[in-house]
Structure 1
Amino acid sequence: MHETIPDLMRHAASTYGTREFLRFPDTSLTFEDADARSDGLAAALIDKGVRPGDRVAIMMDNVPDWPLSWLAILKAGAITVPVNVRYRAADLEHVLRDSGAVATLTTEEHVPHIPGTVYVLGSVPRARIPARTHEIANFQYTSGTTGFPKACMLTHDYWLRTARLVADQVRLRDDDVMLIAQPYSYMDPQWVTLLCLIGGIPLVVLPRFSASGFWASAREHGATLTYVLGSMPLLLHKQPPHADDGAGRLRLVLCSGIRPDLHRAFEERWGAPWRELYGSTESGPDLGVPIDAEETVGTGAMGLPYPGKEVTLDEETGEILVRGAPMMKGYWNHPEATAHAFRGGWYHTGDLGFRDEHGYIHHAGRLTDMVRRGGENISCAEVESVLTQHPAVLQAALVPIPDDLWGELPKAFLQLRPGHAADEDTAMSVIEHARGRLARFKIPEYVEFVEGFALTPSARIEKRHLLHPERDQRAAPALFTGKERP
C-alpha cells in the first residue's frame, strides 16, 4: 500500500500512462498529464514559499485545476483546505482564519470574495520536484456535532484506506468508468479520485448535479459506477420516466441514505443495484452493503463494518459508535472537542441506530444539533451566531423541520429586540443579512417570531420545546418563508 497520495499518483502515472484519468466537459487528462501538471504546480507553490505543513486553501468550481491543485499541494508537502465556492463573508473568513491558510488557489470569478493571499491559476512550468511530505493531507471542515465548523485533520493514510475500502466494496474492474457530480470541496470527489488512481480508470466530473441531465450524462460517458447522497436520489426519482432510464453501462450505484420505500423502485427504474455506504468526514467509511446482498433492498440496512472498523451501539442511548482505521487525527485547534468525540476510545457519530437480526445496523435519528439539508450539514450554532448579529434580533434558535425532498430544512425562531416589528419586512431584513454572510444552503427556509425562549439550567435555549410533533411548522402564526420576494 502506498504511503502517500503523491506516491499513488506517481505509481498510477507509471503504470497507466496515457490512459484517460480525468474527464471534464472540455478537457481530458491522462494519468501522465495529471502527474506532470501537478508537479509543475507544486514547483510553483514551492517557489512562492509554500513549506511542508503550510495550509493552502482551494476555492474553485468543478474544474480540472481542483484535483490538480490538491495533488500539487500534497506534493509540496503542504496541507489542503477545501473551501466551498458558495461560502461568503462569515463562513469563508472563519475557515481561512481558523486553518491559518497561507494562500488560496482559485479562479478569476472567486477572487473578489477571498481575503488574504490569492493565487489565480494559469500556466505553470513542468518540473520534477523533490519528495516533500506531511502526515496530514487535508483540513476538511465539517459542522461536527456542535458549534462552528471544525477542521478534521485527515492523513494520507485516511484517504488511501478510504479509497481502497470502497474499491473492494464495488469490486473495481479494469473497464469501469466512475461518474461524480458533487462539488470537489466535498469529501466524495476526493476519495473517488483516489479510487480511480488505484484502478487506472477514468473519472467523469460533471460541473454540477442536474437531476434532469444526470442519467443522460451517465449514458453518454459510459459510466459503470456512481455515488449519490442527500436529496439527489429523490430529485432523480421525481424526473419524468425516460425510455432509456435502464440503458447504458451502469452496474452499481453507491448511496448514503437510501429511502427504504423507494429502494426497489430505484433499482428497477435504472437497472442497477443501489448499495448503502455509511460514514462521516471524521471516520471515513464505517458501514457498507455488499453488491450481492439483495436481501437488504428496501430494509434500510446500512450494512456491516468495513475491514479495520468496529461499529457498536451505546447501551444507554443507542448512539452509533465507531473505532478503527481510517479515522481523523482529531479536530484542528479543538482538543476538547476531539476528546469529547472520542470519549471511551470510540468515535461518537451523533447518529442513533439499531441492529437487526441479521447483524445489519439501521439509522434511527440523530443526537446532534445540526440540520441535514440534502447532502449538506448545517451547524445550528454557526447560523444562530450570524442571525443574532442583526440589530433587530435578541436571540435565535435554528432547528430542523422535516421535508419530503431535502430530508430537513432549517427553520429560525427569532426573539426580537424591543421596537422591532414581527412582520415580513423584519423577516426579510434578517434573511438578507444572512445571505451576505453564509452559503445559500445555510439560509433559513422559514422564520417564526417568538416572545421568548424556555432555557435550560445552563441558560441555553431548550429547543425541544420549539418542535411540537403535532404542529405544522410551515403554518405557524407569524411565519415567513426565507425565499426571496418575486
Structure 2
Amino acid sequence: MPEPEEHPVDATGAYRQSRDQLLQLRGEYACAVAEFRWPELGTRFNWAVDWFDAVASGNNRQALVVVEEDGSTTERTFAEMSRASDRLASWLTAHGVRKGHPVLLMLGNQVELWEAMLAIMKLGAVIVPTTTALGPADLEDRIALGGVRHVICNAADTDRFDRVPGDYTRISVGEAEGWSNLRAADELEHTSIAHPNTAPGDPLLLYFTSGTTSRPKLVEHTQVSYPAGHMSTMYWLGLRPGDVHLNISAPGWAKHAWSCFFAPWIAEATTVVYNYRRFDAAAMLAQLRRRKVSSFCAPPTVWRMLINAELGERPEALREAVSAGEPLNAEVIEQVRRAWGLTVRDGFGQTETTAQVGNTPGAAVRPGSMGRPLPGIPVVLIDPATGHLVTGTGEGELCIDLSARPLPLMTGYRGDAERNVEAMSGGYYHTGDVASRDADGYITYIGRTDDVFKASDYKISPFELESTLIEHPAVAEAAVVPAPDPIRLAVPKAYIALAPGHEPTKETALSILRYAREHLAPYQRVRRIEFYDLPKTISGKIRRVELRAREQELADGRQANAEWRDDQFPGLKD
C-alpha cells in the first residue's frame, strides 16, 4: 500500500484540469501538442473512484444506452452506474475478489459488462477482458497465462468452462448450476466503496492481443495508462460533455475499452451500443438518426458496407465521423464527404497504447494519411536498418520515445522478458509498423514490418495495393502478400474476397488484374490473384502470415494452385 502523502494530491482536480485543457484546445492542434500535460496524480489513483464516481455524483444524464435488435433499450444514468457498481463491488468482495486478483470478464454488450468493469476497478482487482467467441482451449490458455482467480460470464456460456481446469471462482450473469448469480448484487443496499489505495503503477488491465502475426501476447496496463492515457483518444474522437457516442467494436478487445468505456466517460459523454446478430447497414444508419448520435466510430469495413447500402442524408446530430482498426482507404473518405459533408478521420493505436496518431477535429485531413502524433504521445520514426532517428520527411518504423515518459504505454508483455527487451530496445517502444512522414508531419501507414516486401528490388506496401484493389466493385476485401518468383524474387499476389453478386471466374480475374494495372505504378503491378476465404483473427483482422506461409507451400508444390496470373491473359503482357 502506498505511503500516505504529506500533502495529498487532489487527483480528481488534476485529472479534470488535464481533461479540460484538451477540451479547450479542440481544433487547435499545434497548441494542444505544445501545451498539453498529463495529470500529476500523486501516489494513489483509481479511475472508477477518483473520476467516474466524482462525475457521477448526483448526475442524472445518460451514461449508457444498450439498444437491442428488436428496438428495446436498457438505459443507465451516471448516478445509477455508480451506485450499481458499488453494490456489485460489495457483492464481489463477499465472493472473494480482492485487490490484485485477475478477473476474467467474458460478457457481451450488456449493462453488466460496464457495471463489472467499474466494480472490479473499485476493488483494485485486475480486469482480463475476454471475447465471448472463445472456446475451452483458448480459455484454458488465458486463465493459465493470466493467473485468473475469478471468472464472470453469462449463464449460457458457463458450459465452456466445464473442461477448463483451475481453482477460480465461478460467477454468472443469470442462474447456472455451480455458479454464483451476479444479479443477486441488485438486492443489496447501496454502500459507497472505499478507495482501494491503488498506486498509479498498479496493474488494472490484462489484454490478449488479436495475434495477426503470432500467438496472442498478454499486455499489461496500469491504473493510469488507459484510464488517463485515453485522454488522447478522447481528443482524437472529438468528444465533448453531453455528446452521444456510438462505436462498433466487440467486447473483449482493447478498442471496446477505448471507445465504449474510457474515452466517452472521460468526456462525460453518453455511450450507445447497438446489438445485432448480423450487421445490417440500413439498421445501423437508422440508429444513428434515432439515437441522435453526435460521434460515430467504425472500422473501414463497416464504412464500406454503409456506403454500399447508400448513406442517404446525414444523420442530423452527427458531427464526428471516425475510423480505426485498419488503415482507411481514401475512396471511402471521399464518398462519405460527398454524401454527408463530413470527413471521416482516421487514427492509429494499438492494444499496447491508447490512440497514438490521428486526424484531429478541425485539422486538414490528407486522404491516405492517418494524421499526426496526438497530444502527449511522443511518436518518432526509427530507421530499421540503422536504429537511428529519422528527422524531417522520411520513412521508418513507428516508435514511441521512452525518454519522454509516455503515460499511455503498457507496462510490458506479462511473462515475456525476451519480447519486452525487443519491444523497448534502443530507448524506444517499437510498434512493428512502418510509416512515412511528410514535410508537415502527417504520417502515412505503409504496413507491418513483417508485411512490407521487395519485388524486383522495389519496396511494396501491401496497404497501398489493397487500397486500390478494394475500389474495384467485385472486391470486398483484399490481402496482398509476396509470391515467390524465379525472375523477380517475389511478385505481389492478391487474395480476394468477392463482393456479393460477383463470381470467381476468369472474366472477374481479368477485370481485377486490368484495374490494378491501370491504377498502380508498373513496379506495383499485382501479377497474381486468387479468390480465397481470407484467414482472420478472432477479432476480424486478416492473418497475412498464414497467406505468406501458403505461398511458400504453393511454391514447393505442397498446395493445389488455383490462382490467376497476368501472363495467362495476352492483353496484360508487359
- Normalised-by-shorter TM-score class: 0.7 to 0.9
Counterpart in 1 of 2:215? 148
SS at match of 1:184: coil
Say whether 1:123 aligns with 2:184. Answer: yes
Does the Cα contact within 8 Å between 1:287 and 1:306 map onto a contact in 2? yes
Task: State which of 160, 167, 172 in structure 1 corresponds to 2:239.
Answer: 172
Distance change (3 Å), C-alpha of 1:21 and 1:75: same
Task: State which of 132, 141, 144 in structure 2 corresponds to 1:97.
Answer: 144
Does the Cα contact within 8 Å between 1:77 and 1:132 map onto a contact in 2? yes
Corresponding letter in the other structure for 2:63: F
Cα separation, 2, equivalents of 1:176 and 1:88: 37
Note the residue ranges of structure 2 that are not aligned, 5 or more in a row.
1-13, 16-44, 68-72, 173-181, 386-395, 453-461, 471-492, 500-532, 565-574
Task: State which of 3, 7, 13 in structure 1 corresponds to 2:56.
Answer: 13
Counterpart in 2 of 1:276? 346
Corresponding letter in the other structure for 1:92: L
Does the Cα contact within 8 Å between 1:275 and 1:288 map onto a contact in 2? yes
SS at match of 1:212: helix
Q: Tell me the alpha carbon deviations over residues 400-432 of structure 1, each in whole angstroms, 9 at most, x when there is no partner.
A: 9644689xxxxxxxxxxxxxxxxxxxxxxxx9x
Counterpart in 1 of 2:400? 322
Counterpart in 1 of 2:375? 307
Counterpart in 2 of 1:204? 272
SS at match of 1:160: coil
1:313 CA displacement: 2.0
Does the Cα contact within 8 Å between 1:177 and 1:201 map onto a contact in 2? yes
1:145 CA displacement: 7.4
1:339 CA displacement: 1.1
Q: Tell me the alpha carbon deviations over residues 309-338 of structure 1, each in whole angstroms, 9 at most, x when there is no partner.
A: 222222245221123231000011111111
Q: Tell me the alpha carbon deviations over residues 358-393 of structure 1, each in whole angstroms, 9 at most, x when there is no partner.
A: 22110111124899999xxxxxxxxxxxxxxxxxxx
Q: Tell me the alpha carbon deviations over residues 105-146 of structure 1, each in whole angstroms, 9 at most, x when there is no partner.
A: 111111111235320131302332222154211001114675
Cα separation, 1, equivalents of 2:333 and 2:253: 25
1:446 CA displacement: 13
Instruction: Determine what percentage of the aligned residue pairs are the same residue.
Output: 26
Between stretches 285-294 and 315-324, larger displacement belongs to: 315-324
Say whether 1:132 aligns with 2:209. Answer: no
1:81 CA displacement: 0.3
Q: Tell me the alpha carbon deviations over residues 83-122 of structure 1, each in whole angstroms, 9 at most, x when there is no partner.
A: 1100112222211111011111111111111235320131
Cα separation, 2, equivalents of 1:282 and 1:157: 13
Distance change (3 Å), C-alpha of 1:369 and 1:355: closer
Cα separation, 2, equivalents of 1:278 and 1:152: 18
SS at match of 1:219: helix
1:290 CA displacement: 1.9
Cα separation, 1, equivalents of 2:321 and 2:239: 13
Cα separation, 1, equivalents of 2:235 and 2:330: 24
Does the Cα contact within 8 Å between 2:131 and 2:252 map onto a contact in 1? yes
Distance change (3 Å), C-alpha of 1:302 and 1:10: same
SS at match of 2:229: helix
Distance change (3 Å), C-alpha of 1:226 and 1:242: closer
Does the Cα contact within 8 Å between 1:91 and 1:439 map onto a contact in 2? no
Cα separation, 2, equivalents of 1:21 and 1:147: 37
Say whether 1:47 aligns with 2:47. Answer: no
1:170 CA displacement: 4.1
Q: CA RMSD in A?
A: 3.4
Distance change (3 Å), C-alpha of 1:184 and 1:402: same
Q: Tell me the alpha carbon deviations over residues 245-301 of structure 1, each in whole angstroms, 9 at most, x when there is no partner.
A: 3132110112122211221112222342211211111122111112222341x2x11
Does the Cα contact within 8 Å between 1:288 and 1:306 map onto a contact in 2? yes
Task: State which of 145, 163, 166 in structure 1 corresponds to 2:230.
Answer: 163
Distance change (3 Å), C-alpha of 1:462 and 1:232: closer
Counterpart in 1 of 2:502? none
Between stretches 215-224 and 109-118, larger displacement belongs to: 109-118
SS at match of 1:336: helix
Write the mapping of 1:62-461 to structure 2, written as runs, cut at 5 A: 62-114=109-161, 115=164, 116=166, 117-120=169-172, 121-124=182-185, 125=188, 126-134=190-198, 135-143=202-210, 147-192=214-259, 193-208=261-276, 210-239=280-309, 241-243=310-312, 245-256=313-324, 257-296=327-366, 298=367, 300-317=368-385, 318-323=396-401, 324-368=406-450, 402-403=495-496, 439=538
Cα separation, 2, equivalents of 1:352 and 1:362: 9
Cα separation, 1, equivalents of 2:274 and 2:87: 25
Does the Cα contact within 8 Å between 1:224 and 1:250 map onto a contact in 2? yes
TM-score (norm 2): 0.64
Cα separation, 1, equivalents of 2:304 and 2:420: 34
Corresponding letter in the other structure for 1:9: F
TM-score (norm 1): 0.75
Does the Cα contact within 8 Å between 2:239 and 2:264 map onto a contact in 1? no
Between stretches 79-88 and 22-31, larger displacement belongs to: 22-31
Does the Cα contact within 8 Å between 1:231 and 1:405 map onto a contact in 2? no
Q: Tell me the alpha carbon deviations over residues 405-462 of structure 1, each in whole angstroms, 9 at most, x when there is no partner.
A: 89xxxxxxxxxxxxxxxxxxxxxxxx9xx99xx95958999999xxxxxxxxxxxx97
Corresponding letter in the other structure for 1:283: T
Cα separation, 2, equivalents of 1:230 and 1:108: 34
SS at match of 1:159: coil
Q: Tell me the alpha carbon deviations over residues 198-231 of structure 1, each in whole angstroms, 9 at most, x when there is no partner.
A: 3322111112454332221111100000211252
Corresponding letter in the other structure for 2:295: L
Q: Tell me the alpha carbon deviations over residues 48-94 of structure 1, each in whole angstroms, 9 at most, x when there is no partner.
A: 11111110011111101011111111111100001110011222221
